[in-house]
Amino acid sequence: MDLSLIREDIDKVDKEIIELFQKRMDLCEEVAKYKLSVGKAILDKGREDSKIEKVQTFVDDESMKVALSDLFRQIMSSSRKLQYKFMEQNSATVRAECEIVDKIETQGAKVCYQGIEGAYSYLAMKRYFGEDVDGYNVPTFDAAMKEVAEGRADFAVLPIENSTAGIVNDTYDLLMKYDNYIVADLVYEIDHALLGLPGAKVSDISKVYSHPQGLMQCSHYLDEHLDWDRIATTNTSLGAKKVLSDGDIHQAAIASREAAKVFGLEVIASEIRNEKNNATRFVIISKKRSFAKDAKTMSICFEIAHEAGSLYGILSHIKYNGLNMTKIQSRPIEGKMWQWRFYVDFEGNVNDAAVLNAMRGIEAESTYLKFLGNY
Amino acid sequence: MDLSLIREDIDKVDKEIIELFQKRMDLCEEVAKYKLSVGKAILDKGREDSKIEKVQTFVDDESMKVALSDLFRQIMSSSRKLQYKFMEQNSATVRAECEIVDKIETQGAKVCYQGIEGAYSYLAMKRYFGEDVDGYNVPTFDAAMKEVAEGRADFAVLPIENSTAGIVNDTYDLLMKYDNYIVADLVYEIDHALLGLPGAKVSDISKVYSHPQGLMQCSHYLDEHLDWDRIATTNTSLGAKKVLSDGDIHQAAIASREAAKVFGLEVIASEIRNEKNNATRFVIISKKRSFAKDAKTMSICFEIAHEAGSLYGILSHIKYNGLNMTKIQSRPIEGKMWQWRFYVDFEGNVNDAAVLNAMRGIEAESTYLKFLGNY
């Protein structure tokens, strides 16, 4: 049979499917009206499951059963989403209060970062808030989040991912621990160098200090020097500070070129990172739900029932609403062996109807949903 | 209008949709036959996009346009999958040669692990291969993979994830770097303790040695001792070895209770890990594509086009074939800023028809697919 003739037949069938689908959606709006009037939940899992069971009885072939089940899951998902939209227009929004501002107010802000002067977080803070920023440092990421949560700082600057090493686990976990929000992000190019005392040479070195991420990002270089002790510091420039204060020519630190200037050390090997393209993305954290009107990235975190297809079902709300998922990460849930929570970024503004519809759907069908920010 | 009456109408509409859907699938099998006869690819993106454009012209409402576009993406996705299945049955399989064995042969095997005697990898090796295993150690994860790739070892034992700290980045990255396969896995309970010289007390300690994962997994305990130097070693028991050889009462190591016995150290603080439930999953790596007949977890890695809905489209092949995705992880692609590759586990045996169908679909629609193992 000729391909174009088959396709003509397919087009005819499709036209009929469209008419039926429209008819079905109109009926579903009636259902939404009813549910709104009696305060009934949109998702009726029992009803959906029995529908799926029933449609499968119309065919014998196993693959066709799966295809039909898929088709009706899609149709019911569309129905549900039209119903969510109807309710969003006709009743209270699910959205908690958010303030929408022209731009994030950085003037006169008190800003907190983890580490010491010269560390990458310090440099990122300077770039975002300007040279005159009223900044101060704390020893851990947790402490930085706490400063913001308890109102002592307006903002915190934390690294969230590195283009080579991957995500910064602690920052992800702390976004769950505290009710703070991401209100902005910026990318800072990382230019790791080996810093030593003035006059030190590579052959002098036997100990190297850096943050575990710094050690990982330079692992190829370090593997050429397996006899060196690798010493983890709580941030990259603390190592630089120690090299200077110990005054030991056998010690070196992996840190930025800027840190060499800050601490009066010398660059004894440069471009030692595994990847030429190495950058860290930092997030700006605030306690206020105050987001820029042109914010275009939504970050959420959710947990799901431990059953087949759960994750797939949640992601369908993003896709259905025409939103583009840009990232998915997972982290273990503390206290629950081998269960993971998911961190998803998708494009959208917290004010968009599509975003509200997606959030309403995800909230209804996940076991836990947390809104992490819009920037 | 009464809810049950609306639902009766919906059921009638659904019956008609099913009939049309069946008719459409039959037509699509004709298309598959044609494509097979002329060697044409299943996915014709231009044709699919113009179909989506066309169906949207039948309605005015924006939400209905989205719903219809979604419906037809779903229908065409099912068509494509039926076509993949048809081709799998009627032409050469995409599956490369795999040997299916009753169980993985461990007798007389030469086994390689990273680290030294007493390390968790060593303990996991003993548990899987038995006390009499012919094992030897190498200094890095990369070296362990290389021993297997170049045939000097039959198997390597590598940690892949920890229930608290999350995935072991290096192991994930090395599964891409080498053409080795996961043929088994096992879970080993982690029981971190602080080990010191006989007679040492917690108040004596000023330096603590461990693998970065060990330091992370005990970060709450260590944060109570912010004045301690945290020193990263390439594995947990190397730190224990160093404490013994230095003979310095101010030094301690975070390692297993077993390591204390191996090195003649004392447990000076126990149960210091953040999580009571802490376990590491290890994978057994082989160069041979030889998998157990009762293997039930498939591991794959793929990369996708940088466009909306790509990831969702790939995952749909798993769901469509009735397979359950059990895990998804992402890692940066080296040399490509902010692009990630995905590691997915799903339930199935490399011999199952459903697995073969899913793999064919994913292979056709991803930019890169690598089969990592079946266990």
> Token digits for B278?
């802490």
For position B120, what pLDDT does the model report? Answer: 87
- The Cα–Cα gap between A58 and A60 comes to 7
Residue B183 pLDDT level (bands cut at 50, 70, 90) = very high
B371 an active-site residue? no
From the list A1, A24, A332, which residue is nearest B30 (CB)? Answer: A1
**What stretch of H or E contains A10?**
helix A3-38
Residues sharing a CB contact under 8 Å with residue A97, sequence separation 6 or more, in sequence order: A289
Based on the fold, state whether residues B60 and B88 are members of the same structural domain.
Answer: yes
Nearest one of B61, B29, B308 to A21, comparing CA atoms: B61
Indicate which of B30, B142, B281 best probes the interface with A, i.e. most A CBs within 10 Å of its own CB: B30
Which member of A30, A71, A334 has the closest CB to residue B1? A30
CB contact under 8 A, A216 and B169: yes
Position B1 pLDDT exceeds 70:
no
Cα dist from A97 to A93, A135, A291, A349, A351, whole Å:
10, 29, 11, 14, 11
The verdict on a CB contact (< 8 Å) between B232 and A234 is: no
Domain match, A87 and A130 both: no
The CATH number covering residue A112 comes to: 3.40.190.10
Domain boundary among B28, B58, B92: B92
For position A145, what pLDDT does the model report?
Answer: 98
Contact A75 B6 (CB under 8 A): no
Indicate yes or no: CB of A34 within 8 angstroms of CB of B329.
no
**Is B87 in the same domain as B110?**
no
Picking from B16, B332, B338, the nearest residue to A20 by CB comes out as B16
Beta-carbon separation of B332 and A15 below 8 A: no
CB contact under 8 A, B308 and A324: yes
User: Do A10 and A87 sit in the same domain of this protein?
Assistant: yes
Residues A112 and A67 grouped into a single domain: no
The catalytic residue positions of A are: 280, 282
What pLDDT score was predicted for residue A63? 79
**Where in chain A does DSSP place strands (E)?**
99-101, 110-114, 134-138, 155-162, 166-167, 181-189, 192-196, 207-210, 229-232, 251-256, 266-270, 279-286, 290-292, 297-303, 325-332, 340-347, 368-374
3-state secondary structure of B356: helix
Strand order of the β-sheet with B229-232 is B229-232, B207-210, B251-256, B192-196, B266-270
What's the one-letter identity of residue A109? A
**Residue A122 — pLDDT band, cuts 50, 70, 90?**
very high
Q: What is the pLDDT of residue A176?
A: 94
Kindly identify which residue of chain B lies nearest to residue A324, measuring between CA atoms.
Answer: B308
CA angle A268, A272, A278 (to 5 degrees): 135
Residues facing A327 on adjacent strands: A345
Given B61, B92, B123, the domain boundary residue is B92
| B20 vs A1, A16, A51: nearest CB | A16
* Residue A304 and residue A342 in contact, taking contact as beta carbons nearer than 8 Å: yes
Q: Is the domain of B287 the same as that of B307?
A: no
Query: Could you tell me if B298 and B354 are in contact, meaning their C-beta atoms sit under 8 angstroms apart?
Result: no
Locate the chain B residue with the closest alpha carbon to A334: B164
What pLDDT does A207 receive?
A: 94
Tell me the chain B residues in contact with residue A233 when contact means C-beta distances shorter than 8 Å.
Answer: 230
For B119, the enclosing helix (H) or strand (E) is: none
CATH code of B349's domain? 3.30.70.260
Q: Which residues of B touch A220 (CB under 8 A)?
A: none
Which CATH number does the domain housing residue B52 bear?
A: 1.20.59.10
Minimum-distance CB partner of B27 among A9, A24, A275: A9
Q: How far apart are CA B84 and CA A4, in angstroms?
A: 20
For residue B60, give its domain range.
1-92
Whether residue A64 and residue B226 make contact (CB cut-off 8 A), yes or no, is no
Phi/psi at B91 (5° precision): -145, -175
* Pair B158, B301 in one domain: no
Please tell me which residue, B121 or A94, carries the higher pLDDT value. B121
Contacts of B332 in chain A (CB under 8 A): 162-166
The nearest alpha carbon in chain A to B333 belongs to: A164
Q: What is the DSSP letter of B117?
A: T
Judge if B173 and B109 occupy the same domain: yes
Interface probe for B, chosen from A2, A9, A15, A30 (most Cβ of B below 10 Å), is: A30
The pLDDT tens digits for A290-327 are 999 999 999 999 998 876 667 888 888 887 777 888 88
Whether the ipTM is more than 0.85: the answer is no
Taking an 8 Å cut-off on Cβ atoms, the answer to whether B277 and A20 are in contact is no
Q: Are residues A150 and A284 in the same domain?
A: yes
Same domain? For B166 and B182 the reply is: yes
| Mean predicted confidence (pLDDT) in B46-63 | 88
Q: Which of B141, B164, B280, B291 is catalytic?
A: B280
> Which residues from A are below 8 Å from B343, CB to CB?
none
Please write down the long-range contacts of A4-9, taking CB distance under 8 Å and 24 or more positions apart.
A6/B27, A6/B30, A6/B31, A6/B34, A7/B31, A9/B27
Task: Give the residue from chain A lying closest to B64, CA to CA.
Answer: A22
Contact yes or no for A3 and B59 at CB 8 A: no
Q: Which of B22, B78, B229 sits opposite A70 (nearest CB)?
A: B78
User: Do B63 and B180 fall into the same domain?
Assistant: no
Mean pLDDT of B124-138: 95
| DSSP H/E element including B160 | strand B155-162
| pLDDT for A1 | 62
In Å, how far is B258's CA from the nearest CA of chain A?
Answer: 23
Shared-domain flag, residues A303 and A332: yes
Residues sharing a CB contact under 8 Å with residue B222, sequence separation 6 or more, in sequence order: B208, B215, B228, B230
**Record: contact B70-A34, CB cut-off 8 A:** no
Question: How many domains does one find in chain B?
Answer: 4
Query: Above 90 in pLDDT, residue A101?
Result: yes
Which one is predicted more confidently, A361 or B218?
B218
A311, B328 contact by CB (below 8 A): yes
| Residue of B342, B316, B323, B290 lying closest to B96 (CA atoms) | B290
